[in-house]
Structure 1
Amino acid sequence: MTSSVSSIYTVISYFIPQIKALPVFGYYISEHYLLNFQPSPAYVGQGIIMGFATTTYMFFGMVLGWCVLSPLAQSKGWAPGPIDDWKEGSEGWIMWISLSIMISDSVVSLAVTVVKAINSLVGNFNGESYHGVPSAGEHQGLISGDEIQSDEDITSSTYHGETNNSDSSVHSGSTSGCDSITVGEHSKSTNHAYKSTKTKRPKNRNNTDLQPKHQISGYVTWIGLALSCLLCVLATRKVFGPIVPIYATSISVILSLLLSVLGVKALGETDLNPVSGIGKLSQLLFAVIIPRNQPGAILINLISGAISEAATQQAGDLMQDLKTGFLLGASPKAQFIAQIYGSIFSIFLSAIMYKFYNALYQIPGPIFKVPTAVIWIDCARLVNGAGLPERVIEFAIFFGVVFGIISLLKNTLTKDNCKYYKYLKYLPSGVPVGIGIYNVPSFTLARFIGGLISFWWMKRIKSENSEKVKMIIFSSGMILGEGVFSVVNMVFTSLGIPHL
């Protein structure tokens, strides 16, 4: 149903493009401040999935950027050009503040993740688990007998039920290496360990969770990694030629491997992959490595950041895919083969679709403004010595510091060490605020409405999982319909069918 409604809207929007920018606040405000509303079902569906908190932060960023900072820059003459001019207008002026906020938030979050990762490595080296977090073996000890039986019933038809003899003692109601102690008794004996700041890891823990036939061999992993890195270096050389030195590409590949680990860890712990911050961090590092007077310094900076961000993004996606497969009982080897086929297919399909869109539409243009590309190129210019618009530096520093402090608080304070922890949700996170600033208001308003729908829906259903699934299906249909029928609009454009 929602997919059909979304599809109909998409086709109508081709013939009546005015509905993509409804002047709900009046024509004057629409023309001079770009405050419009786009009733896109896909945007609303995305807002439902994103949730109320994230869309509210984006809405705050929209108000801050487009209702406060943009009019201020125009009235003071700091942005004398048209509002939608990225170089001279206020849209480009507030973009720098957005960039400062996102970099500050992402770098602080990444720094906290690095510190936690180092602590974790130190804990693993010493055989200890820090912050009272139970190790995998201790998790087994806390599972009740009924839960273990239920778990066996669920996984008996999958490879997760294929355990060796050393694991069977756990599933039979006793801990590994302690057959005389039942699970319930072991649970009581470890209660004190959970309350302490660090606990010893079990020495006889078995980390094997599936049979070797379902795993990817070490040879495939290491050889594939080496070939992938080599292919990346050679492909970059082939496309960009000698202007991008091989050593620069090689450094960016090695750096991306390290940053990907941090990105995956952050994604697993917070459900947010700080790819934006990692990309900008890579750009900052290459500003130090590559001299500013070297030919193509800006291009090299862009390529290095893109490699790091792409690697982190793909690592996060693969981690989520494999985790989902693990929960469903899928074979990681089968997933790996499917992902290889999908990647090869997408290489050609994405290139073909880009050529189609680039031939039919102006990119960047009114329909596809690609503001993220502007963020990237301006960051590359900035770290290579380009100047900033008038008076933007003061605002960028101020908001960067403010949201850096907020990021530090959100990433370090917990329920255990701060009694005001429950109020942290009222402090806006930097990345969604930055997105709300650099995207036009029509992009954010529809998503905020989706967030409100999500808030109402979650309040109504409370904790019924079936209703939550219905909400996801509802919103996914809205996104799918518009996404599929955008291809129909592309066909209309290629045929030269006129708008009404």
Structure 2
Amino acid sequence: MDHNSTSINNRKPEKAHDIVCADDHGEETVEKEEDQSVEKSFESKEVPPWQKQLTFRAFFASFVLSVLFTFIVMKLNLTTGIIPSLNVSAGLLGFFFVKIWTKFLEKYGLLKQPFTRQENTVIQTCVVASSGIAFSGGFGSYLLGMSEAIAKTSTEANDSQNTKNPALTWMIGFLFVVSFLGLFSVVPLRKIMIIDFKLTYPSGTATGHLINSFHTPQGAKLAKKKVRSLGKFFTFSFLWGFFQWFFTAGDGCGFVEFPTFGLKAYHNKFYFDFSATYVGVGMICPYLINISLLVGAILSWGIMWPLIEKRKGDWYSATLPSGNLHGIQGYRVFIAIAMILGDGLYNFVKVLGSTLLGLYHQIRDKNTGSAIPVGSNSSPPNTPSVSYDDERRTRLFLKDKIPTWVAISGYTIFAMISTATLPHIFHPLKWYYIVVMYIFAPTLAFCNAYGTGLTDWSLVSTYGKLAIFVIGAWAGASHGGVLAGLAASGVMMNIVSTASDLTQDFKTGYMTLASPRSMFVSQVIGTAIGCIVAPCVFWIFYKAFPDLGTFGSQYPAPNATIFRGIAILGVEGFSSLPKHCLTLCYVFFIGAVVINGLRDIVGPKWARFIPIPMAMAIPFYLGPYFTIDMCVGSLILFIWETVDKAKALAFGPAVASGLICGDGIWTLPSSILALAGVKPPICMKFLSRKNNARVDTFLGN
């Protein structure tokens, strides 16, 4: 609800079925900067050749930031699955780190190459590609969904042929053989996407304008102020996480269990848990996302689940543990799945229709001679509408070509390697399943990349769920269909996700005059870093927190349960659902489609008052506690905008990024402490007056 390139901006891209939020100010920036020529202000600066855009300092900074952002994305993946766009933070921190580096060298007369916007773009691309693997790698979804811990929540398909526990070696090997295919699949289409079809790629365009602004004198001053704000709130967030740790000596201890609205509301998960991360996420996500989450939380945990729990012993067995999918947990998971599938199917059809219609118009217009730059070096004559900026960007974008044979050879080689390798990692995933997926994958990757360019929507999870159903049903329940479906989902999601990410980065490079070759190399290196760093970071979480993936734990990994539930539905059918659950699933599936249709019918003016089903579905499983945090973030931003809108627009994303980064990086020392067996000294719990009296009596005796 999606991947990092995926950012929801009044309902923007979806990565897997996670929401990925971006700030609302990118488009406004684009509009303001288009009023004047950007490239004329850089006319006096020489554009370095593509080899010089790839510097040691750029990749060193990228590696450091990749580790930081991977911890952040991994923590978000394993808690709620709501991931903010980190493009702005990556670009801003990359600018800050290398600027300090170059200032130091310049002071001692050792600076040989100045810091350019092209190098800044390389850093941003590498960092986002690397941290994106923490999402598309499935550590909080399909990959963890294969484990025995998740499988035990259901009695269906939990045998050995349908489970596979995480291990560092096979996870790294799996990512290396599937993560590069998407990059090669869209490289031959970069000119068609960016130049011929002139797709907007709003997130990539906004990031390009942001990086351009950093490298102007005024923008550099503002960037320093933003970095200073990010640093202040990073420090506060990190120290706040450290302070909270002292009070978490046992289960149900600490500020995260603070019964803000009373014990009854706390029982239904309505409380503020003092998470700086999700306050920051709430500041980045559009107001509509946060309100949709709150509506879903009230509908589920405030109304539906209390009513269904009264049917315990009738609709489901009263003796089942709370996490069993045949009990109340089944309603939470499968109704959320129904809403996610309804929303995903509607938007898949909608975006696919827009893609096909857009392609038809593009081809028709090109045939009538109205398309621009299709030449190899510059725009054709008699096209006065082409601006100076577009003419210069097009010329340099077409200058450093990536040979088509490189893309075809790369795709073929990696496809052959993975076809031979994957059946040894996942035995139920036969080689001919993989061949079929690789035949259709480039088409799906193109559709997703094109749709992202038109709408900024990345329907990665929809393609993943499609693979689960098709390959899972093909394999069958008795032949490891659940494991085969989850593995197929991982293959498809990695291809489609990296394809749309790369085209977004090509657009950013087009805006900053970064060479397509340097963009491609940076993406490849970032992906390689991610294939190693992401599994290692996940392994730290996996070893430090034995209850990882357990409902109600510190890291419940809700998407893992949901993905496995989808796989079970694909191979077992509806027999696994509790009583009346199927009827409720139909209602919410249709409801998601109707709500989306209504949003499109009424138009943007009124759609901003109608909640988004995909966002509503998340708290159905997890509960409202993180929603309260995000609404607090929205409230802070709203008050700030009321008092000083210009300052809020300029510094809001930096403050939010600081809150997210500080709390996210605290997970590294907290994990190390857990691995070392160091436990917090204090347990802070909240009891009712009656229970407190009983405890006092017991202790008095």
Give the TM-score category using the shorter length.
Answer: 0.7 to 0.9
Are 2:468 and 2:485, in contact at CA under 8 Å, matched by a contact in 1? yes
What is the rounded CA distance, in whole Å, between the counterparts of 1:28 and 1:82 in structure 2?
23
The whole-number CA distance in structure 1 between the counterparts of 2:333 and 2:257 is: 21
Against the structure 1 CA distance between its residues 46 and 256, is the aligned structure 2 distance closer, same or farther, given a 3 Å change threshold?
Answer: farther
Provide the C-alpha distance between the structure 2 equivalents of 1:46 and 1:256, rounded to a whole number of angstroms: 32
SS in 1 for 2:310: helix
Deviation digits for residues 338-381 of structure 1 (CA, Å, limit 9, x no counterpart): 22222222222222222222111122231111110100111111
- With over 3 angstroms needed to count, the CA separation of the structure-2 counterparts of 1:125 and 1:206, relative to structure 1, is farther
Give the structure 2 partner of residue 92 of structure 1.
330
Q: Is the 8 A contact 1:107 1:278 kept in 2?
A: no
* 2:610 aligns with one of 427, 439, 464: 427
- Tell me by how many angstroms 1:2 deviates: 0.7
The answer to whether the Cα contact below 8 Å between 1:29 and 1:35 also exists between their aligned partners in 2 is yes
> Per-residue displacement from partner, 1:402-460 (whole Å, max 9, x unpaired)?
1102223435x4xxxx6x65212222112111123222322222112222333344455
Partner of 1:280: 465
> Judging changes above 3 Å, is the alpha-carbon distance between structure 1 residues 35 and 86 closer, same or farther for their aligned structure 2 residues?
farther
Is 2:660 the counterpart of 1:479? yes
Match of 2:246, as an amino acid? F
2:238 matches 1:7: yes
Task: Indicate how the Cα distance of structure 1 residues 427 and 129 shifts in structure 2: closer, same or farther if over 3 A, else same.
Answer: farther
When the two structures are superposed, what TM-score results if normalisation uses the length of structure 2?
0.57
- C-alpha contact (below 8 Å) 1:40/1:446 kept by paired residues: yes
CA distance in 2, matches of 1:449, 1:253: 45
Tell me, yes or no, if structure 1 residue 40 matches structure 2 residue 278: no
2:569 paired residue number: 382
Q: Give the stretch that moved more between structures: 114-123 or 423-432.
A: 114-123
Alignment check: 8 A CA contact 2:327 2:578 kept = no
Q: 1:316 deviation in Å?
A: 2.7
Q: Mapping of 1:13-412 within 5 angstroms?
A: 13-17=244-248, 18-31=254-267, 33-77=268-312, 78=315, 80=318, 84-127=322-365, 137=372, 174=384, 208-210=394-396, 212-241=398-427, 243-288=428-473, 290-362=474-546, 363-365=548-550, 366-385=553-572, 386-411=575-600
Shift of residue 480, structure 1, vs aligned partner: 0.8
Cα offsets for 1:306-353 (capped at 9, x unmatched)? 222232222232232222222222222112112222222222222222
Structure 1 segments unaligned to the other structure (5+ residues): 141-162, 177-182, 184-204
Tell me if structure 2 keeps the 8 A contact 1:110–1:262.
no
In the alignment, which residue of structure 2 is the partner of 1:489?
670
C-alpha offsets along residues 77-96 of structure 1, whole Å, 9 cap, x if unaligned?
Answer: 23546785142443432221
- Once the two structures are superposed, residues 97-153 of structure 1 have per-residue CA deviations (whole angstroms, 9 ceiling, x without a partner) of 1110111111111111222222233334433799xxx9764xx9xxxxxxxxxxxxx
Structure 2: which amino acid aligns with 1:495?
A
In structure 1, C-alpha distance between the alignment counterparts of 2:321 and 2:286, rounded to whole Å: 30
Greater displacement, 223-232 / 298-307: 223-232
**Equivalent in the alignment of 1:193:** none
Structure 1 residue 212 displacement after superposition: 4.5
Task: Give structure 2 stretches of 5+ with no counterpart.
Answer: 1-231, 249-253, 683-701
Q: Would the alpha carbon gap of residues 476 and 117 (structure 1) be closer, same or farther in structure 2, given more than 3 Å must change?
A: same
Q: 1:275 to 1:175 in 2, by over 3 A?
A: closer
On the 8 A contact 2:378/2:394 being kept in 1, the answer is no
| Paired letter, 2:425 | V
The aligned amino acid for 1:450 is G
- Kindly indicate whether the alpha-carbon contact (under 8 Å) linking 2:294 and 2:628 is maintained by their aligned counterparts in 1: yes
**Kept in 1: contact 2:394–2:510 (CA 8 A):** no
Q: Which has the higher contact order (CA 8 A, sep 6+)?
A: 1
Find the aligned partners of 2:270 and 2:385 in 1 and give their Cα distance. Answer: 62
**Does the 8 A contact of 1:51 with 1:455 survive in 2?**
no
After superposition, the Cα gap between the structure-2 partners of 1:436 and 1:19, relative to the gap in structure 1 and judged at 3 Å, is same
User: What is the CA–CA distance in structure 2 between the aligned matches of 1:421 and 1:352, rounded to whole Å?
Assistant: 43
Cα distance in structure 1, aligned partners of 2:666 and 2:393: 47
Measure, in 1, the Cα distance between the counterparts of 2:367 and 2:259: 57
Of 631, 638, 647, 1:448 maps to 631
Change (3 A) 1:378 1:446: same
Report how many residues are paired.
433
Range that drifts further, 83-92 or 427-436: 83-92
Seen in structure 2, the aligned counterparts of structure 1 residues 316 and 121 have a Cα distance that, compared at 3 Å, is: closer
- Write out per-residue CA displacement over residues 285-326 of structure 1, whole angstroms, 9 at most, x where no aligned residue: 3355x0535411111111122222232222232232222222
Could you say which residue in structure 2 is the equivalent of 1:192?
Answer: none
Partners of 1:263 and 1:316 within 8 A in 2: yes
1:379 maps to amino acid: I
